[in-house]
Structure 1
Amino acid sequence: MSKNSAVYKQLPAVSKLLDSDSLSDKIEEYGRQAVTESIRRILENYRKILKTQSQEISENQIIQSICDDIEKSNKNSLIKVVNASGVIINTNLGRVPLSEKVFLEARDIACAYNNLEFNLETAKRGKRNTHLKNILCKLSGAEDALVVNNAAAAVLLCLNTFAKRKEVLVSRGELVEIGGSFRIPEIMKAAGCKMVEIGTTNKTKLSDYENAISEKTAIIFKAHQSNFVIKGFTEEVEVSELAKLGKKYNLPVIYDNGSGLLEKSDFKALKNQIDVKSSIKAGVVLVIFSGDKLFGGPQAGIILGKTSFIEKLEKNQLLRALRIDKTTIALLEASCKLYINEKDLYKHNFIFKTLSQTQVELKSKAEFLQNSLKENKISSKIIPNKAMIGGGTNPESETESFAVKILFNEKNKKQNSEISAIVYKSLMKNHIPIIGILRKGELLFDIITCNENELTTISQALCQAMNNTSKKQK
């Protein structure tokens, strides 16, 4: 018998471990196959360890490793996080949270059979898009509506329907790229149309559009600049002016509004946002926007406009590939219904609820976190902070908030910076990850999007992270 064989003998057989009472609960919860795979994986890991170093490994140690492996293997990939980043519509963190009211209303529909494509009046096949038409038109003043799975899909569908193998006029200042390398020029190429750039990066005039119109022109397209701002010597054509030009030459004007602010808002942070209602009144044939940005609903590409154009979109074969499912329809309809009653809107729409917080309320939340940290013997300081609206609405859209800055007892700035970075990263490994702010070597937590339970989670996680960091340094 080789030396290695003797060492490996201390490892129990797979069958013995499967019969162990310590793993019976795991087998009941995850199934025999999943537990067997985990056992084999852990035993192989221990064989590799024993191959290079001799040590005693107990059966209890092996079972604990198996239990840890099973839990890790079956952990959800998509999990809840606490957003203390100071970005309200944080695309990387799922954009806008849905309210419990919206979710519960949609759950009752999604967890049962429903009339998704069944007309209850005629007892014949129906169309899924009919469920959202009435309420979207009622809220926006549009003639008709169509919803696809996101705004990029909406742009693709519109371009492919009305400008395939034809030309589309677009300002050079609006050839945007947003997260995930989504680029307007690439979408136009994918839609099968030819992009005609007009104007310059900083200045585009009405005459630039008019001079570029030819017999090959199919669409005048305008896009919200989304995630950048051009300042200084600039000029752009208003949506209303483009709509008039379109009527003059019998050309459809399509406006990608992007952010989805339904109507003019009194919130200071949103004062420069072009709203959906105004765009429709201006006379563009179609307006496109996201459901999960300022509108405050689920991911969706909402297209509002004239019935004659919506009907053509509905006949495009691409629509089948871009359509939304029953759950999204239910969530979006419930989100739309909040707009009917202003009280519901400010209570249950996350954007309106967040932006309507007073400075006194925000300061109170910051003090709650500071006091909770103090109980855990963590020093902190409340500072004013500018929270960003985010979500590609406008990089300059900010609102007044407060952040809690952690005060470490390190001797110099470099040590403070290092410990801040270590704790910042370790908080992401919490059972509910905490996403804070690491700015100029300082660790901060903006409280604008956090409720009291989340602030308590931050305090507890921070206490544990700092204790773990302190032990490692010793």
Structure 2
Amino acid sequence: MDPRSRIPGLDRLLQDGAATPFLARFPRPRVVDALRRALDQARAGVVDGAWEHDPADPGPYWHVAAHELEAEAVPSLRPVLNATGVVLHTNLGRAPLAPEAVHAMQAVSPGYSTLEFDLESGRRGSRYDHCAGLLAELTGAEDAVVVNNCAAALVLVLNATAAGRGVVVSRGELVEIGGGFRIPDMLERAGTRMVEVGSTNRTRTADYEQGLRAGPVGAPPAAVLKVHRSNFRVSGFTEEAPVAELVAVCRAAGVPLIHDVGSGLLVDPAELELPPEPRASTSMAAGVDVAVFSGDKLLGGPQAGLIVGRAEIVSAVRDNPLCRALRVDKATLAALEATLRLYRDPATVRRRVPVLRMLTEEPTALEARARTLAEGLTAAATAHEAVAVRTEGRVGGGTYPEVAIPGWGVRIETKDVGRLAAALRSGTPAVVARVEDDGLIVDVRTIPPEADGTLCDALLSALEYRP
């Protein structure tokens, strides 16, 4: 007798009592599809011996279907605990948002909002008004506009100021910003012509002056672009034209100076014990015409590209058709506005913006947290050694690549560190840590203090994990 004849039909399985909880939790079409695949698996398996269950027993079919349905129910985008010590971990979503920003997003997301409506006049408003005033206030710019990321902001500004014309840029600043995207490609996509000046390691002010005289007769370059090399450093025999001198050169030539300052830092880096870093405020004070920077790096807000500068240029950017294609939604604007408002109080911003708090947390506090975590793990999991150790964190997000941040964490010794790391990633919540020299490093700098207990539980579960 063919064993496949003992396999129950789909209708019979759906009438089985085991179907009730599944049909209550999952859409019927998904349950049906999962069962069909389980039945197909059984039909092939009973012939070659891969299906080791009684073909007439409905239980194994529901077990296979349940595994598929449960896996499908897990969201692809999930929260994780970042135990890497990299504060702006690009792959983990960069800056965690302040509670005020999260609340602002929750407030406007469920219903309608004043995204493009003026309550006072009862007329149509502009989404670009919501953060423009705050950005102008915090950077010293005349006006501002927000788009969806910094790369988009740069392409938009280039297109609005120099489409069909040349843009002067140093050879030493033709950087790759990540994901294979390079400044020359962005200049091309913006519809501009790249005018390279200087060399990889030395570009003088005179090089920019010469570059501005290049090009077809009657069509000289229309702008100068200065790019902050945020994700690498050039040292040794180097020279870089000061921003103040470039401002003078551009004014004499009657062209705008565009400054990509990158990280979006709004506070003095010395307050974070970090080396000097270009800021939009210092660019504006120096006379730069327009600056672009990120919202989700050292600013500590949502992903966004922020454009600040002279009102005339910002207006041209806002009127550019590309601006609509790159605009942000109400949730992003709400989170960004709430984050920017925190910067109005310099006395409290470092502890209220998570990124700034992580970067400035006292080593003694980190050590105490690491020792408490290590003691908790050792007491509950005596088969594994867990000790508090000094660590070196990173800023991340393509900023301060040469800066190591002293911190504290826990080192866990285990026979199979790869299995432990995988178990942590598959848990709820998922935990991402570092593997160093056959040990697992859990850096507490990037763990919110209120999540220390959750982290300890996740580690204990992973240490007991059996695949």
Per the normalisation by structure 2, the TM-score is: 0.93
Q: Distance in 2 between matches of 1:289 and 1:122?
A: 33
SS state at 1:387 partner:
strand
Q: Is the 8 A contact 1:372 1:459 kept in 2?
A: yes
Matching residue within 30, 41, 44 for 1:48: 44
Aligned-pair CA distance for 1:258: 0.8
> 1:151-181, CA deviations, whole angstroms, 9 ceiling, x for partnerless residues?
0110110111111111111111111112211
Q: Distance in 1 between matches of 2:267 and 2:284?
A: 11
The 5 Å alignment of 1:399-410 reads 399-408=405-414
Deviates further, 294-303 or 189-198? 189-198
Report SS of the residue matched to 1:434. Answer: strand
Aligned to 2:32: 36
Aligned to 1:449: 446
CA distance in 2, matches of 1:21, 1:270: 64
Query: Is 1:295 paired with 2:299?
Result: yes
- Are residue 316 (structure 1) and residue 320 (structure 2) matched? yes
Q: Which residue of the partner structure matches residue 432 of structure 1?
A: 429
Range moving further from structure 2, 177-186 or 17-26: 17-26
Query: Is this contact kept in 2: 1:280–1:305, CA < 8 A?
Result: yes
Q: Give the letter for the 1:97 counterpart.
A: P
Deviations 1:27-74 (A, max 9, x none): 223221111111112222222222210633332222122222111112
Query: Could you tell me how far apart the structure 1 residues matched to 2:363 and 2:52 are?
Result: 61
| Matched-pair contact (CA < 8 Å) for 2:272–2:359 | no
* Partner SS, residue 21 of structure 1: coil
Give the conservation status (yes or no) of the 8 Å contact 2:159–2:190.
yes
Mapped partners of 1:47, 1:462: distance in 2: 41
Q: Give the alignment partner of residue 357 of structure 2, picking from 349, 353, 356.
A: 353
Question: Aligned partners of 1:84, 1:72: CA distance in 2, in Å?
Answer: 25
Q: Take 2:305 and 2:448, find their aligned partners in 1: how far apart are those partners? A: 29
CA contact (8 A) 1:269 1:389 kept: no
**Which of 258, 279, 289 is the aligned partner of 1:285?**
289
Q: Match for 1:341 among 339, 345, 357?
A: 345
**1:344, distance to aligned residue in structure 2 (A):** 4.7
Give the SS at the match of 1:380.
strand
| CA displacement, residues 347-406 of structure 1 (integer Å, 9 cap, x when unaligned) | 331112112211111101111210121122231222222210010112013322112111
Q: Which residue of the partner structure matches residue 84 of structure 2?
A: 85
**2: CA distance, partners of 1:335 / 1:212:** 40
Does the 8 A contact of 1:346 with 1:353 survive in 2? yes
TM superposition shift of 1:80: 0.9
Q: Deviations over 1:64-114 (max 9, x none)?
A: 222221111121000011111111000000001112222112211121211
Q: 1:368 aligns with which of 366, 372, 389?
A: 372
Rounded to whole Å, the distance in 1 between the matches of 2:66 and 2:9 is 16
Taking the aligned partners of 1:186 and 1:230, their CA distance within structure 2 comes to: 22
Give 1:221 shift: 0.2
How many residue pairs align between the two structures? 457
Q: Which amino acid aligns with 1:253?
A: L
Question: What letter matches 2:399 in structure 1?
Answer: T
Name the SS of the counterpart of 2:270 in structure 1. Answer: coil
Which residue type is aligned with residue 211 of structure 2? A
State how far apart, in whole Å, the 2-side matches of 1:19 and 1:103 are: 45
**Greater Cα shift, 299-308 or 174-183:** 174-183
**C-alpha distance in 2 between matches for 1:76 and 1:33:** 19
Answer yes or no: is the 8 Å Cα contact 1:106–1:334 preserved in 2. Answer: no
Q: How does 1:230-249 map to 2 (within 5 A)?
A: 230-249=234-253
Q: Distance in 2 between matches of 1:8 and 1:108?
A: 56
Q: CA deviation at 1:452?
A: 4.4
The amino acid that maps onto 2:392 is K
RMSD, matched Cα: 1.8
Residues 1:265 and 1:394: Cα distance change in structure 2 (over 3 Å): closer
Percentage of identical aligned residues: 34
Structure 2: 5+ residue runs without aligned partners? 214-218
Quote how far apart the aligned CAs of 1:238 are: 2.2
Contact 1:267 1:355 (8 Å CA) reproduced: no
CA contact (8 A) 1:366 1:382 kept: yes
Query: Which stretch has the larger CA shift, 209-218 or 181-190?
Result: 209-218
Q: Tell me if structure 2 keeps the 8 A contact 1:175–1:184.
A: yes
- Which residue matches 1:18? 14
Bigger Cα displacement from structure 2, 456-465 vs 205-214: 456-465
Measured in 1, the distance between the counterparts of 2:152 and 2:177 equals: 14
Moved more, 133-142 or 445-454: 445-454
1:460 positional shift: 3.3
